[in-house]
Amino acid sequence: MPKGSVGPYQLQAAIAAVHDEAERAEETDWPKILALYELLKRMSDNPMEGGLWRPYVCHDGLVHVQEIAMVLPVYNDWTSVQRLLPQIDGALNTIRRRARVLLVDDASDEEPESAWPRAFRNIADVSILHLRRNLGHQRAIAVGLAHVYQNWQDIDAFIVMDADGEDRPEDIVALLERFEAEGGGKVVFAARSKRLESPAFRFFYHAYRILHKALTGVAVRVGNFSVAPPRALGTLMVAPELWNHYAAAIYRARIPHTSIPLSRGSRLAGRSKMNFVSLLMHGLSAISIFSDVVGARLLAFTATAIAATMALGGAAACVRLFTHFSIPAGAIYAAAILAIVLAQALIVSLALVFIIASGRTAAGFLPLRDAPLFVDRIEQVIPAKATHARG
C-alpha cells in the first residue's frame, strides 16, 4: 500500500491484488480481504463498495453467510415471539451465524411483551417496526423488507419467516446450507413436504394448488419461509407484486430460486388469526400476481372450447343429414347453446386481457417509494434503546 492518504481506489486495487496473489480459491487470504472491505465501507457512501453488497466470507471455494437480516410479521403473536427468539438464537449458534431481527407489528391490538431478554448470543439486536394500520401478512412483509433495504446495510442474506413457530427455527440451518451450496445467488424456499392442518384444510389446499397450476402454469408448494441474497431484495423494491404476495413476486420477477422439502411445525402459542376468508384472499392474491397470464390462458381455453364445440356440432349435423345414423336434434341444439355460452366467455376473456394489458402502463405501488408511508415508529427492544417515531 502507498504511504500517505489512502482512498477507495487504492483499497479496491489492494483487494484485487490479494485475489491475484492466490492461484486457487482456498489459498486466498480472506481475512485480509474482509479487513480491506471494512475500511472501504467506512470510507465510501457507495452501497456497491461496502455495506449491503459486501462479499461473503469464503473458503474452499464455498460461500459462507455471516450477517443475516430476519423479517417476521407479527399480529398479536407476542407470546410466540418470546418463545421463538431463543430457538432462533440456538439454531444460529449451531452454525456460528449472527442475525438482526425485525418484527413487523401489523398494528396489533395487543401490546408487545414488556419483559424482553437483555441480549442473545447470536441475535445482535431485535427491533419492532410498528405500522400505522393493519395491512395483512403479505404487506407487512413488504414494509419490513423495504425497511431492511433502506436501513440495514451490513447483511449477507435475509430470511423471511412467520413468528408463530410454524416455520421451524431449526430449519434455518438447512436453508442456509442450501443457500451457501448454491453460491449465495438464489432464493431458497422451504417446500412443505408435510402439513399438520386438518384433512379439510389439506383437501382445499391441494385443490388450490391444482387451480393455481391450471391458471398460472406455476406449481406452488412454497410459502414465505425462505433465505435470499441482498440483490434479490433490491429487485423486490421495484416489484409492485411484492405488495400482494412475497413468494409470487419472486417467481414473477424471475429471481433465481430453488426449494428444499421441509415439514411445517406447530404453533408455539395461541390460535391462528387466519380464517377461511383470509386464507381465500391470500390464495387469490398469489394468483392475481399472474393476472395477465390467467387472462391469456382463459382466452386460449375458451377459443379452443368454441372451436371444438363447433367442430363436434358440425360433425353431428353432417351425420344426421347425410347418413342413415340417427342423432337426436336436441344434441345439436345443446351444442349450439354451448357454443353461444362459450362465445360470451370468449368476449369476457378478451375484454379481461385488454383491461389487464392497459393497466400495466399505470403507475403501481413501489415498495421502495411507498412502503415507508405505513411506518409509525421503530422500537429497538434488544438491546433496549429509545423509540424513534416517523413523521
Whether residues 36 and 90 fall in one domain: no
Residue-level pLDDT at 26 = 54
- 43 CB burial (10 A radius; 0-12, 13-18, 19+): middle
Q: What counts of helices (H) and strands (E) characterise the chain?
A: 12, 11
CA dihedral (200, 201, 206, 211) in degrees, to 10, reads: 100
Q: Which residues contact 96 (CB under 8 A, 6 or more apart)?
A: 122
Whether residues 139 and 176 fall in one domain: yes
Distances (CA, A) of 195 to 77, 163, 292: 21, 17, 31
Whether residues 98 and 81 fall in one domain: yes
Nearest residue to 229 via CA among 173, 168, 160, 286: 160
Residue 364 lies in a domain: no
Residue 2 lies in a domain: no
User: In this structure, are strands 375-382 and 123-131 parallel, antiparallel, or unpaired?
Assistant: antiparallel
CATH of the domain at 195: 3.90.550.10
Whether residues 45 and 89 fall in one domain: no
Whether residues 168 and 231 fall in one domain: yes
Q: Which domain holds residue 326?
A: 292-359
Which triple of cell numbers denotes residue 43? 470510507
Whether residues 256 and 160 fall in one domain: yes
Residue 381 lies in a domain: yes
Whether residues 324 and 227 fall in one domain: no
Q: Which residues contact 349 (CB under 8 A, 6 or more apart)?
A: 295, 298, 299, 301, 302
Yes or no: say if 7 and 49 are a contact pair by the CB < 8 Å rule. no
Beta pairing partners, 227: 159, 188
Yes or no: say if 282 and 274 are a contact pair by the CB < 8 Å rule. yes
Residue-level pLDDT at 387 = 61
Whether residues 219 and 318 fall in one domain: no
Residue 94 lies in a domain: yes
Residue given cell 500517505 in the structure block: 4
Residue-level pLDDT at 89 = 94
**Gap between the Cα atoms of 115 and 82, Å rounded:** 9
Whether residues 325 and 262 fall in one domain: no
Domain count, the chain: 3
Whether residues 91 and 211 fall in one domain: yes
Whether residues 312 and 177 fall in one domain: no
Residue 40 lies in a domain: yes
Residue 246 lies in a domain: yes
Residue given cell 440483490 in the structure block: 231
**Gap between the Cα atoms of 310 and 314, Å rounded:** 6
Which triple of cell numbers denotes residue 124? 445482535
Whether residues 205 and 338 fall in one domain: no
Residue 366 lies in a domain: no
**pLDDT tens per residue across all 391 residues of the chain:** 455 567 776 777 787 777 667 665 556 666 676 677 667 666 655 444 444 344 455 544 455 667 899 999 999 999 999 999 999 999 999 888 899 999 999 999 988 877 788 888 899 999 999 999 999 999 999 999 999 999 998 889 999 999 998 999 999 999 999 998 888 889 999 997 665 566 776 777 778 778 888 888 877 778 899 999 999 999 999 999 999 999 999 998 999 999 999 988 888 887 766 666 776 777 777 788 888 788 888 888 888 888 887 787 778 778 777 887 777 767 767 777 887 888 888 888 777 777 766 666 566 788 999 999 999 999 999 986 656 666 5
| DSSP for 39-82, written as a single string | HHHHH---TTTSGGGPPPEEETTEEE--EEEEEEEESS-HHHHH
Report pTM: 0.71
Residue 56 lies in a domain: no
Distances (CA, A) of 164 to 78, 83, 93, 133, 229: 9, 9, 21, 20, 24
Nearest residue to 180 via CA among 31, 64, 60, 81: 64
